[in-house]
Structure 1
Amino acid sequence: MSFVWTLQQFLIGDWAWGMGHWAWGMGHGALPLPHSELSTQNSALPPP
């Protein structure tokens, strides 16, 4: 049970990191999002 929970947490965390990285790429690409907003959204993410 604990192993499955850990695996799920890992997958969810990896998905969240991927979405954050995608948002960073979009913000610095096609979408004119404020840099301060991007910094707040990605403050908890490891460097790409």
Structure 2
Amino acid sequence: MLNTIAYPGPGEVPLIIAHGLFGSARNWNVIAKRLSDSRPVVSVDMR
């Protein structure tokens, strides 16, 4: 993993999001921000 983007949220168990073949962690910004209302979210770059 080269990069991670963390979205703090309530709760202890984070949701981990990985992008598709030609994407990046930033592809999930809008969705991750909304999901972080109910739990921590970590978006990772796998390239």
Query: Is TM (by shorter chain) over 0.5?
Result: no
The structure whose Rg is larger is 1
Higher strand share: 2
Under a length normalisation based on structure 2, what TM-score does the superposition of the two structures give?
Answer: 0.29
Give the number of the structure with larger relative contact order, counting CA–CA contacts within 8 Å between residues 6 or more apart.
2
